[in-house]
A and B are shown apart, each in its own frame.
Chain A
Amino acid sequence: MAPITRIRRFSPLDRLFHLFLMLTFLIQAATGFSRLYITTSWGKNINTLFGGYETSILIHKWVGVFMIIGFLIHTFYLLIRINWKNLTKSILGPDSLVLNFQDGRQLWQRILWFFGMGSPPKFDRWTYFEKFDYWAVYWGMPLLAVTGLMAMFPLTTSRIVPGWFLNIAVLLHRAEALLAVSYIFIVHFFIGHFRPSSFPMNESMFSGSISLEEAMEERPAWIERLKKEGRLEHARATPPVLWYRVLYFVYGYTALTFGIYLLVNGIANSHAISLH
């Protein structure tokens, strides 16, 4: 048996969900910004890309609905994946994405390592910042979905709640959109592309696998656990083919460039917008 050189991190379904989220997030960010910044000349330029002020909101609403459907499908998938018979192990175990006490300890260890006061923490399958990144979507999506739907159907909404809730809905929608966009385009992009261990691109979310060497360096606890449980062989993966690598490099860099373009121009024109 050949020695294992790569192990699998993300299943094809995980990668599909991420791809869907990427596309919808970028479209929503772009159409949202084109509406938010309409009073600036940059905003008017991106608007023409989407077919104008009215068409932008049409795209934004439709893609928003698709995003909500995708979110519900993912939540359903999550509920299926939970081992209901073995609930505590499933939710609080090392393979789970739920934050636990261990993550807190690893965060503190890492902060100490930043300042040269200790060794880097031995991460298991999911690091604390990856878990945060995952759950941040569970905060942002419901908030954006609910406030977005309120703004989409103001007449129906005002029959259920008082009309002044719409003032708050618009404010929260814009504020949360700005929070999500700045977090993704600054923090998430850095972790995925610019930090030295990921530069030029962290391929694991596209190829689905990482080299065993890299895994042992960053996630030694996970590799130990797989070896102990005898599951390392099961996690064997083949490296991605060249054409696929080229494809996702181009795709990834396009998304990155577009995101940074939106971020930079968004900050540059930030004087022209308000949250309400």
Chain B
Amino acid sequence: MKRIASKNLAGFCAAALLVHLFVLPGVVSSQEEMASALQRYKDQEASTGYYEQSEVMPRNQRPLIEIPSIRRGALPYSPTAAQVRIRTRLVDSHLGIKFYEVLRCNYCHAEQTKDIHTVRGNLTCRQCHGGEPISGIANFYSPLNPIRRHAYVCAKCHEGASVSFAAYVIHQPAAGSSISRNDFPALYYSYWLMFILLVGTMAFFIPHTFLVGLRELIAKMRKKKHGADNTH
């Protein structure tokens, strides 16, 4: 009786093991990078976007560095302001959007996919903008709020990122556009300065070069004709 019971138990264990191996999904310790950067769905994203204090290391912080456009009293940047990790306080920007779960980010935010981090760094939107609920970056509790962006997002890849580093504009507007004129005038005027320089230089030198060639050709032909006449 005991031997039959142990045999049955062994059989049951073997069957259970086989079910675990072939039917149920395996446990993986790391996520795979997906080749198509923008075709990720909400259910496949496991990271919440929040990282432990020890995992990000913004070093050499300068206490008097100002965060652009944020003025918070006498001391513009308070280190303790960054230590907020209450996900329940995040406001869901995508509340009420129909079929949100099956949509891709670029369905609505196509313009925001043309930046260097996406095109060349092969980053997905969610790697920075985190897990659900996704709030606007101005929300106090958002990991992308300028007061903590450098630590919670930038330093994930750029170890040592400072507040100033996070002032780099990822979703840069088209440099020559009117949007950039309002939001990023330094970029706008740099672009148009370089454009004028390029076009101006070429507009002078290409005709000049062409005329040099033409005139020298004429001179050469005249000399040849003149030389031919001389031999007679």
Contacts and interface: CB of A to CB of B under 8 A. Distances in A.
B190 A191 contact: no
Residue picked from A167, A186, A196, most chain B C-beta under 10 Å: A167
Nearest to A155: B160
Interface in A166-182: 166-168, 170-172, 175-176, 178-179, 182
Given A159-B60, A167-B172, A197-B216, A38 B194 contact: no
A154 B198 contact: no
A154 B175 contact: no
B119 A166 contact: no
Interface string B196-220: 0110011001101101111111011
B58 to A, nearest CB: 10
A129 B215 CA distance: 16
A159 B62 contact: yes
11 contacts: A114-B212, A114-B214, A129-B208, A163-B166, A164-B184, A167-B168, A168-B190, A171-B190, A186-B202, A191-B212, A196-B216
B198 A178 contact: yes
Interface in A148-172: 154-155, 158-159, 161-164, 166-168, 170-172
B111 to A, nearest CB: 13
Highest count of chain A CB atoms <10 Å: which of B167, B174, B219 = B167
A163 B186 CA distance: 13
Contacts of B164: 158-159, 161-163
Interface of B: 60, 62, 68, 114, 116, 119-120, 158, 160-162, 164-169, 172, 174-175, 184, 186-187, 190-191, 194-195, 197-198, 201-202, 205-206, 208-209, 211-217, 219-220
Contacts, number: 109
Interface residues of A, number: 36
Contact of B211 (A114, A175, A194, A276): A114
Interface string A191-202: 100111100000
B190 A164 contact: no
Interface string A96-140: 000000000000000001100000000000000100000000000
B202 A164 contact: no
B67 to A, nearest CB: 10
Contact of A190 (B168, B198, B209): B209
Contacts of A191: 209, 212
B213 A196 contact: yes
A275 interface: yes
B209 A164 contact: no
Nearest to A143: B194
B68 A162 contact: yes
Nearest to A136: B201
Contacts of A114: 211-212, 214-215
A146 interface: no
A265 interface: no
Contacts of B114: 274
Contacts of A190: 209, 212-213
A238 interface: no
Contacts of B195: 175
A92 B152 CA distance: 58
Given A167-B172, A178-B198, A276-B172, 6 more contacts: A158-B161, A159-B165, A187-B209, A190-B213, A196-B220, A274-B174
Contacts of A176: 194
A89 B164 CA distance: 48
Given A154-B165, A176-B194, A178-B198, A187 B217 contact: no
Contacts of B168: 154, 158, 163-164, 166-167
Nearest to B65: A159
Contacts of B220: 196-197
